[in-house]
Amino acid sequence: MINEPDAIRAAITEGRTALGIELGSTRIKAVLIGPDRLPIASGGHGWENQFVDRLWTYSLEAVQTGLQECYAELAGDVRERYGVELTTVGALGISAMMHGYLALDADGELLTPFRTWRNTNTGDAAEQLTEHFGYNIPHRWSVAHLYQAILNGEDHVGRISQLTTLAGYVHGRLTGERVLGVGDASGMFPIDIAAGSYDQRMLARFDELTAERGLELRLADLLPAIRSAGDPAGELSEDGAKLLDPTGTLRPGIPLCPPEGDAGTGMVATNSVAPRTGNVSAGTSIFAMIVLERALGQVHRELDLVTTPAGDLVAMVHCNNGASELNSWIGLFADFAARLGVEADSTKIFETLLRSSLDGAPDCAGLMAYNYLSGEPITELEEGRPLFLRSPDSTFDLPNFIRSHVFAALATLRIGMDVLQKAEDVRLDRMFAHGGLFKTKGVAQRYLAAAIDTPVAVGEIAAEGGAWGIAVLAAYLTQRDGEQSLGDFLDSEVFAGTELETVDPDPADVAGFDAFIERYVAALPVERAAVEHT
């Protein structure tokens, strides 16, 4: 009987695998999956954004270096585990942080440093476009960045030949194709759900606005072509293979699925592509994606309308600030432990501190925290200042301190979810949570259930995150049964038999979070004052 390593080795050498690479905000990760869609090897590369000239960015040199080091680690993992060289895969997919601004000239050269989703300097553009379109245009969307550059009179605008996202840029370098998955494209410009294309009425209105400012610019010519999950999106070129693997071991000709954003791959990784399902992804940012049964009744600035990778309508609550401030405090405690001579790895420290929060009061006993390292459009802040506050009669101890910072990581999300659940009466059967914040079982999961008063599920396979999600989308390109829908593929081929741990909201926790969020909203002027005066 052939053993598992031999079967995996055969799948690798025969190209019956799929590879997903995701460029996240702090890590580039690659996951190789076998014919059963389970991970068989992985690689990674850590990186960080830079704050340059008051804008958050990553250099394209860092993109290339990170891709190559990530892939090299993956290939090394394959070599070490299975004793074979990775020369090909059955399909490949690229995912990255959604939104932002990558403006290229006719030669494909960058015209201005990459402006990431984290920037909130596009307030005027977002407000004006929302009014002109009758459709919420968030600060971080590509069209908001473009229009802000136009409003600012930036010289590069007249030389733009193409706009894309980070995933679209990398995909283009690998294939030569100017395409984008519909989910990622929906973070560039509004999508006509029925037609599966950019909204023609809004495209025409945008061109009118630019013409009024003396610019001859046809936005449709600048945007990448849209592809849905399962559509072919080019093949790995010789230059692309050398870019990914400078050793020359990887062969060209591999089919690629449409490049997607991290929100879309998170939906796939959590099997949240059907109506009344949703997922929360928590990392540097935190966002919720809820698949809608119907269009929303009105425009809400707290809610973005995007799509699944298959093109179905999704309401997105995106918060620029997630777990970074909590991680900073945990790093402080780790430094203290090290100075005491206590040896403990970072995972142990993180889990210990998070579990201590379970002993805190349901409402954090008068402690308050704001996790705003950057601006936060939902609460109308163009910049952020992390804050910790307490009243003289508060209970200032470790459990309440940590609990307040976990609550802070969920608070802005709760504000946006209130609009969706209360103002629009959107119903959810289950929310799936993934990301580092939820790796400590039963803690942040429990608090999220309380914050949105909805059952929250977690599962081991989603721990691989978006890199696994885009690998599954790559597998869907080549392994689906005929015209099998993405939802059916996930249900029958990927998640069949998967065990989930679901936590129902506890009434005491719900009441505690309600009390916390009431104080949080009331004290927002303190956060605004900190921005204005420091």
Task: Determine what percent of the chain falls in helix, strand and coil, rounding each to the nearest 5.
Answer: 45, 20, 35
Q: Model confidence over 255-295: pLDDT tens digits? A: 999 999 998 998 999 899 999 899 998 888 899 999 999 99
List of domains in the chain? 99-164+189-222 (3.30.420.40)
> Phi and psi (nearest 5°) for 365?
55, 45
Q: Model confidence over 443-452: pLDDT tens digits? A: 999 999 999 9
Please give the pLDDT value at position 505: 96
Using pLDDT thresholds of 50, 70 and 90, give the confidence band for residue 2.
very low
Please give the pLDDT value at position 461: 61
The neighbour count for residue 132, using CB atoms within 10 Å, is: 15
Which of the two residues, 411 and 275, has the higher pLDDT score?
Answer: 411
Q: What is the mean pLDDT of residues 408-421?
A: 97
Q: How far is the C-alpha of 250 from the C-alpha of 86, rounded, in Å?
A: 7
Please give the pLDDT value at position 430: 83
Q: How far is the C-alpha of 1 from the C-alpha of 5, rounded, in Å?
A: 12
Q: How far is the C-alpha of 11 from the C-alpha of 14, rounded, in Å?
A: 5
Q: Model confidence over 60-72: pLDDT tens digits? A: 999 999 999 999 9
The neighbour count for residue 526, using CB atoms within 10 Å, is: 13
Asked if pLDDT for residue 464 goes beyond 80, the answer is: no
For the entire predicted model, the pTM comes to 0.86
